[in-house]
Structure 1
Amino acid sequence: MKIAALFLMFYCLNFSYSQTIGLKTFASGFSNPLEITNAGDSRLFIVEKDGIIKILNPDGTTNPNAFLNITGQVSTGGEQGLLGLAFHPNYASNGFFYTNHTNLSGNTVITRYSVDSTNPNLANASSATVLLTIAQPYANHNGGSLKFGPDGYLYIGMGDGGSAGDPGNRAQNINELLGKMLRIDVNSGTPYGIPANNPYVGIAGADEIWAIGLRNPWKFSFDKKLGNLWIADVGQDNIEEINMAPATQAGLNYGWRCYEGDTAYNTTGCPPQASLKFPLKTINHSTGACSVTGGYVYNGTSYPNFKGLYFFTDYCNPQIGMMTSSGTVTYSTVFTGNSFSSFGEDINGELYVAALNNGTIYKVTDTSLGITSFDKTQFLIYPNPAKSEIIIQKSNKNYPIEVTLFDMEGKMLLKKKTENKDINTIKMDNYSKGFYIVTVKNELGHVSTYRLIVE
């Protein structure tokens, strides 16, 4: 009964906390970082605009040799460059990964590479196989992201081709690949196959198209738990937008250039308004925004307050927003001096964000989590977050006699009598990353309760 009451009190207290987004410098020294991703292991891969992919290790060090260097093949003017990277879902066995870059003619190129057969920290640059080349009329609105969806297919975000207002209305033209979300099968066909349930298979329109009506989907992602597709679409004059749809929903029309966000832009020849998919959230430029950068739904374990929230930012407004699935947004403080270009997700679902202007990679944290909950005077418990161990230190003439560790479901994981009255060390390296509750009993039988994060 006491344990049940303890957890009820903890959850009530935890619910009352407001999440507070913080940034912790994880690594620096990158040149125009545009993408952060993982290959199904502990490494992060940082994509630089000029054509280099670097490996960032879990201890914050960067490998001296680039994973891939294609600088001689990449145009970097305007919004061009090496823009996207995706690892095959079976990368551990087949070694395939895919890039999105603009070539020296300014056209979008989707390429498959293989990892080096003898060194997992190097790509085989000579293994390049071009899957798709898409002509680009201008140097802006190139999109850039590519991701594997929960269905195993490769999704490619394509901008409308640039020039103010999409004068050719390319985003609504189903015979063009610009202004679209594409979906291809990299496991069949030559050089790829078309999924049978793509919306324009066997009818008028380009077979690769999954959705239309996008202006510049610079960053999109899939919720790893629910499978939903989140698209942050960069606006034209006044409005940025964020869209969310089930990954299984084919043939959506996100409205551009008929609408900018949910406001009419140029409705000449447009389909009925009821047939369009309107944004979950719009952000007006009057807030200081100019170019939305989409992120991820948080599915990590270190910060329970963030669970299920979608993170995003804006290139001109260095705040980070977190949004519920109903569109309610909470913003961080302003992180002055940063022009954020991309979020990233590690193998554990923890989030990172890159600043284009200063080459820094930050880890996203919840600063509302203090060292202790409830009674902060009984004992000192540190470090928190912890990795391999925690230290319980005597305070205010109290000394610990028993330590108990619970998981978030109330299951007891450890109960241990302390060895001395002053300082005790508890090993944590056998516990998975996540959120725990520690109780410490003193010599009078009083129990203090603390929250603990294990990284």
Structure 2
Amino acid sequence: MKTVSIFLVLLIPLFLCSQIVGIQSFATGFTSPIEVAHPEGDSRLFIVEQGGKIKILNSNGETNIKSFLTLTTSTISTGGERGLLGLTFHPKYSTNGYFYVNYTNIFGNTVIARYSVSTDPDVADASSGTILLTINQPFANHNGGSVKFGPDGYLYIGMGDGGSAGDPGNRAQNPNELLGKMLRIDVDSDFPYGIPPTNPFVESLSFRKEIWAIGLRNPWKFSFDKSNGDLWIADVGQNQIEEINKVSSTVAGLNYGWNCYEGNSVYAGCTALPITYTFPLAQYTHSFGCSITGGYAYAGTTYPNFQGKYFFADYCSNKIGMLDSSGTIVWSTAFKGTSFATFGEDYAGELYIAGSADGVIYKIIDTSLGVNGFHNKKIELYPNPATTEFFIQTKAVHLPAFITISDVTGKLLLYESLEAETSSISISTLQSGFYLVNIKSNNGENFSSKLTIKQSF
């Protein structure tokens, strides 16, 4: 029996194009960045490189010279979809110093391990590695990789189906396999871990007790919504469909359908089985891309247009998608030379995205912010986009006024006084990208606008 989930009415989302979603370079110089994480309340970002290094990226955009942790070829295997794939910090990291990684070992199997920070907060204790769980991998692909602590304090592990094509071993639907599943374990009870008493199959003799949900193909990034705890899972498709799942984090024992279904479409003809499947909130076909990279529901405050939206990307098309609660996807334009492999979220809920091809960590920005701010017939800013300078012309504005330019992170880059009705502002020291311009007159009026700086040729 096939039971249609409450999301069925949302299975055919609309696809729109928009210039609202943009990116701005925040830091460069990384090699195949594949995860971005941070401890609770910590302004630093920890960048995971697939080759085995974890580096600290500070809030000013500077990267520490010394790596936080390095796993060598004696510990991990790399190449293709293997390597150091996931990182998360214990909710009590500030007191216990524990963090957890997901990597493929020298035999190609998935390992979940715990490490500790050293007495230096910028360096981990490389000798502290303790293996909690090892899962055999029959093939080199579909390793999953994400590890995250849920709002319940338990550790969630996203596992792919073990690889090859079409799940030849039927592992995603096999209750005795940990592959093709979302797992949930308690790292604070028994050693090496305990089983949460509320896991759905804790009393079952036919299911592995670590299983939280089944029927996943290759969950390439999942996350929890900061506002309500909802679980978002981006599951990479086979040949036709990429899917996005959203459920309450308290709902256990779901079956996401693979390999009986690819998205909403029958794949392997399992419809005769008496199973209730949970269908995706949204999906897209390979006419839009070929491999989904999951992200986060926006929880920041800088960009009001992003509130309530979930951000993801496609690795092949180099486009960023923005999904609303109705299942409607808005696509950005394609960004060249990036190959988006992961998203990140900072302590304030602002979003980042990493290009595995170019090694750049970008900040996600709203390019429409303030675009009409100066269209009030009192101030004109031109040209926009600008290269090395722009002009401000004030009309009926009380002078002197003061102009500031900030980047999208809020960092103040310029502060000048405007004494004349027309003023020239030099921006030759600023890099290409998007900026926020604010003008305050001497009678307290405020005017804001977006400024785009492009490279001069």
SS in 1 for 2:295: strand
Give the Cα separation in 1 of the matches to 2:68 and 2:239.
Answer: 38
TM-score (norm 2): 0.81
Give the Cα separation in 1 of the matches to 2:232 and 2:19.
Answer: 22
Give the Cα separation in 2 of the matches to 1:337 and 1:31.
Answer: 14
Closer, same or farther: CA 65–173 of 1 in aligned 2, 3 Å? same
Match in the other structure for 2:195: 194
Q: Look up the equivalent residue of 2:323 and give its one-letter code.
A: M
Which residue, 248, 254, 260 being the options, matches 1:258? 260
How big is the shift at 1:290? 1.2
Match in the other structure for 2:405: none
Unaligned runs of 5+ in 2: 1-17, 382-391, 403-416, 422-435, 452-457
SS in 2 for 1:93: helix
The C-alpha deviation readout for 1:109-130, integer Å capped at 9, x for no partner, is: 000000002x100000111111
Give the Cα separation in 2 of the matches to 1:304 and 1:451.
Answer: 15
Q: Look up the equivalent residue of 2:130 and give its one-letter code.
A: T
Match in the other structure for 2:406: none
Closer, same or farther: CA 171–270 of 1 in aligned 2, 3 Å? farther
How big is the shift at 1:375? 4.0
How big is the shift at 1:77? 2.9
The C-alpha deviation readout for 1:41-80, integer Å capped at 9, x for no partner, is: 1111110111110111111111111100012211113211
Give the Cα separation in 1 of the matches to 2:46 and 2:380.
Answer: 37
Give the Cα separation in 2 of the matches to 1:398 and 1:282.
Answer: 50
The answer (yes or no) to whether the contact 1:258–1:264 under 8 Å persists in 2 is yes
How big is the shift at 1:308? 1.4
The C-alpha deviation readout for 1:368-390, integer Å capped at 9, x for no partner, is: 01366264553589xxxxxxxxx
Residue correspondence of structure 1 range 262-411 to structure 2 within 5 A: 262-268=264-270, 271-272=273-274, 275-287=276-288, 289-370=289-370, 373=373, 375-379=375-379, 395-396=394-395, 398-400=397-399
The C-alpha deviation readout for 1:139-171, integer Å capped at 9, x for no partner, is: 000000000111111100000001111111100
SS in 2 for 1:175: coil
Give the Cα separation in 2 of the matches to 1:61 and 1:363.
Answer: 14
The answer (yes or no) to whether the contact 1:375–1:448 under 8 Å persists in 2 is no
Match in the other structure for 1:433: none
Residue correspondence of structure 1 range 114-193 to structure 2 within 5 A: 114-117=116-119, 119-193=120-194
Q: Which has the higher contact order (CA 8 A, sep 6+)?
A: 2
How big is the shift at 1:81? 0.5
Residue correspondence of structure 1 range 216-235 to structure 2 within 5 A: 216-235=218-237
How big is the shift at 1:437? 13
SS in 1 for 2:238: coil
SS in 1 for 2:176: coil
Q: Look up the equivalent residue of 1:51 and give its one-letter code.
A: G
The C-alpha deviation readout for 1:226-267, integer Å capped at 9, x for no partner, is: 110000000011111110000000000000000011100112
The answer (yes or no) to whether the contact 2:19–2:332 under 8 Å persists in 1 is no
Match in the other structure for 1:96: 98
Residue 209 of structure 2 is aligned to residue 207 of structure 1: yes
Aligned length: 399
Identity of aligned residues (%): 59
The answer (yes or no) to whether the contact 2:23–2:362 under 8 Å persists in 1 is yes
Unaligned runs of 5+ in 1: 1-17, 382-392, 404-418, 424-435
The C-alpha deviation readout for 1:381-436, integer Å capped at 9, x for no partner, is: 9xxxxxxxxxxx88246325899xxxxxxxxxxxxxxx99669xxxxxxxxxxxx9
Which residue, 63, 80, 83 being the options, matches 2:82? 80
Match in the other structure for 2:239: 237
Give the Cα separation in 2 of the matches to 1:220 and 1:330.
Answer: 20
SS in 2 for 1:92: helix
The C-alpha deviation readout for 1:195-228, integer Å capped at 9, x for no partner, is: 1110110112101000000000011001010110
Match in the other structure for 1:36: 36
More helix by percentage: 1
Closer, same or farther: CA 442–360 of 1 in aligned 2, 3 Å? closer
TM-score (norm 1): 0.81
Closer, same or farther: CA 359–442 of 1 in aligned 2, 3 Å? closer
Match in the other structure for 1:407: none
Give the Cα separation in 1 of the matches to 2:283 and 2:44.
Answer: 34
Closer, same or farther: CA 140–301 of 1 in aligned 2, 3 Å? same
Give the Cα separation in 1 of the matches to 2:274 and 2:291.
Answer: 28
Give the Cα separation in 1 of the matches to 2:272 and 2:135.
Answer: 25
The answer (yes or no) to whether the contact 1:401–1:440 under 8 Å persists in 2 is no
Residue correspondence of structure 1 range 57-72 to structure 2 within 5 A: 57-72=58-73
How big is the shift at 1:178? 0.3
SS in 2 for 1:305: helix
Give the Cα separation in 2 of the matches to 1:439 and 1:65.
Answer: 41
SS in 2 for 1:296: coil
The answer (yes or no) to whether the contact 1:19–1:306 under 8 Å persists in 2 is no
Q: Look up the equivalent residue of 1:153 and give its one-letter code.
A: Y
